Amino acid sequence: MTDQEILSGLAEIIEEIAGTPADEVTPAANFVDDLDIDSLSMVEIAVAAQDKFGVEIPDEQLKDLKTVQDVVNFVSKNS
Amino acid sequence: MVAGAKILAFGGYQPDKVVTNDDLAKLVDTNDEWIRTRVGIQSRRVARDDETVADMAEAAGAKALAASGLEPSEVDLVIVATCSPEVPLPNVAATVAYRLGIPAPGAYDLNAACAGFCYAIGAASDAVRTGSARNVLVIGAEKMTSWIDWTDRSTCIIFADGAGAAVVSPAADDEPTGIGPVVWGSAGDQANKITITGRNGALAQDGQAVFRWATTAIAPVALEACRRAGVTPADITAFVPHQANLRIIEAIARKLGIPRDRVADDIIHSGNTSSASIPLALARMAEQGRLRPGTPALLIAFGAGLTYASQVITVP
């Protein structure tokens, strides 16, 4: 899976869960400050990402993933 | 043996005292907007200091019994689902049965925490079907606020008090079964996620872990309960999950594809009342005309243990 594929898959997930338009989900976007996504939505996104990419993102990792690119990197490294 | 069991009626009781989010903001560092967006609660009910679990159970039980049309003497089993009694013994059920004038029924308390009501409905249905009981009064009653640390803003904003009840009776031979098979289970490896430790302990929970579990593990259980009852989520006219957190409720409903107007949201004005939340929500929906008699409603409860249980019932 390329980073671009992970990014577009992640954008679909975020649009579905948080209602954020997919085109706002850019690599540099910060979940809390730019996308207004709170910790509970992050858990839902992590669970959906696990279904979609087959990569588990545990709660203890989740708090360190602050930007979209952080998640892309995590998925890329662990898939 | 009888063909099946059904629910005759519901009843609910809530304490008079309303506690708003603004009230809580005076006690802990929180605010109305944060609570509404994270847990979906606007206000909750809190029992008086001298109001006991048995008092609330009695009030809800009396309403359900009156609505059922049965005489107290026709009830021969009382099950009280509770995890917040003032003392471990005597149990709540025997006292409540006595106060309601039910003569010498089987009476026991059941602790499956927030999942308790669905466990109790399953046990009541089985007792009726096997002939162990004729009519069962099932009550979920909780005084969660007596086990809350009012300086812990992660829990004191969530939990509340109240009771709800249902009367379970035999279905006639030519009548479809009104209570589907219970699908229940537990995850004891996660026992440490929601706890009260020590005699003077307060409820503590790992909110994020519980949120993750509830939004992943629970929808498949509800689907299995539908499958065993021979219905699909599209057939469900009322979806009544444990009122834990509106975000969890909406996430589960979304996974099941059940439209929002069919989903119980009693948590908004009742808070999380543990084992009382489902019967309270059912009683409220019945009052509001949101239940369609004769159609299938899906119940699912989940909580400390971790425990969970689900069944499809026919709306009385």
Q: What is the CATH number of the domain that holds A61?
A: 1.10.1200.10
Q: Active-site residue numbers of B? A: 114, 242, 272
Q: Verify whether the Cβ–Cβ distance B208 to A40 is below 8 Å.
A: yes
Distance CA B39, CA B155 (A): 11
DSSP-derived secondary structure letter, B233: G
**Active-site residue, from A3, A33, A38, A59:** A38
pLDDT for B176 beyond 80: no
Query: Could you read off the pLDDT of B1-26 as tens digits, one per residue?
Result: 577 999 999 999 999 999 999 999 99
Closest of B263, B262, B108, B243 to residue B162, by C-alpha? B243
Chain B residues touching A47 at Cβ < 8 A: 212, 215-216
Between 3.40.50.300, 1.10.10.10, 1.10.287.130, 3.40.47.10, what CATH number should domain B183-314 receive? 3.40.47.10
Q: Verify whether the Cβ–Cβ distance A59 to B209 is below 8 Å.
A: yes
Q: Are B181 and B311 in contact (CB under 8 A)?
A: yes
Which residue from A minimizes the CA distance to B208? A40
Chain B residues touching A44 at Cβ < 8 A: 215, 251
Distance CA A59, CA A46 (A): 9
Q: What is B4-171's CATH number?
A: 3.40.47.10
Alpha helices, DSSP H only, in B152-245?
207-229
Q: Where does the pLDDT of residue A17 fall: very low under 50, low under 70, confident under 90, or very high at 90 and above?
A: confident
Q: Predicted ipTM?
A: 0.84
Query: Could you read off the pLDDT of B242-255 as tens digits, one per residue?
Result: 999 999 999 999 99
pLDDT for B29 beyond 70: yes
Instruction: Give percent above pLDDT 70 in chain A.
Output: 100
Query: CA A52, A57, A58: angle at the middle one, nearest 5?
Result: 145
Distance CA B62, CA B73 (A): 13
Largest Cα span, chain B: 58
Q: Verify whether the Cβ–Cβ distance A39 to B212 is below 8 Å.
A: no
Distance CA B60, CA B282 (A): 12
Q: Verify whether the Cβ–Cβ distance B212 to A38 is below 8 Å.
A: no
Rounded to the nearest angstrom, the minimum Cα separation between B152 and chain A is: 18
What pLDDT is attached to residue B1? Answer: 59
Q: Where does the pLDDT of residue B174 fall: very low under 50, low under 70, confident under 90, or very high at 90 and above?
A: confident
Containing structural domain, residue A69: 3-78
Cα dihedral sign, B98-B101-B106-B107: negative
Which residue from B minimizes the CA distance to A41? B247
Rounded to the nearest angstrom, the minimum Cα separation between B212 and chain A is: 6
Q: Which of residues 32-61 of A touch B (CB under 8 A)?
A: 38-40, 43-44, 46-47, 59
Distance CA B211, CA B134 (A): 39
What pLDDT is attached to residue A72? Answer: 95
Query: Could you read off the pLDDT of B274-302 as tens digits, one per residue?
Result: 999 999 999 999 999 999 999 999 999 99
Query: Could you read off the pLDDT of B124-155 as tens digits, one per residue?
Result: 999 999 999 999 999 999 999 999 999 999 99
Distance CA B268, CA B245 (A): 9
Q: Where does the pLDDT of residue B177 fall: very low under 50, low under 70, confident under 90, or very high at 90 and above?
A: confident
Per-domain boundaries in chain B:
4-171, 183-314
* Domain count for chain A: 1
Q: Verify whether the Cβ–Cβ distance A46 to B212 is below 8 Å.
A: yes
Q: Where does the pLDDT of residue B175 fall: very low under 50, low under 70, confident under 90, or very high at 90 and above?
A: confident
pLDDT for B32 beyond 80: yes
What pLDDT is attached to residue B297? Answer: 98
Closest of B173, B111, B98, B118 to residue B142, by C-alpha? B111
Q: Where does the pLDDT of residue B205 fall: very low under 50, low under 70, confident under 90, or very high at 90 and above?
A: very high
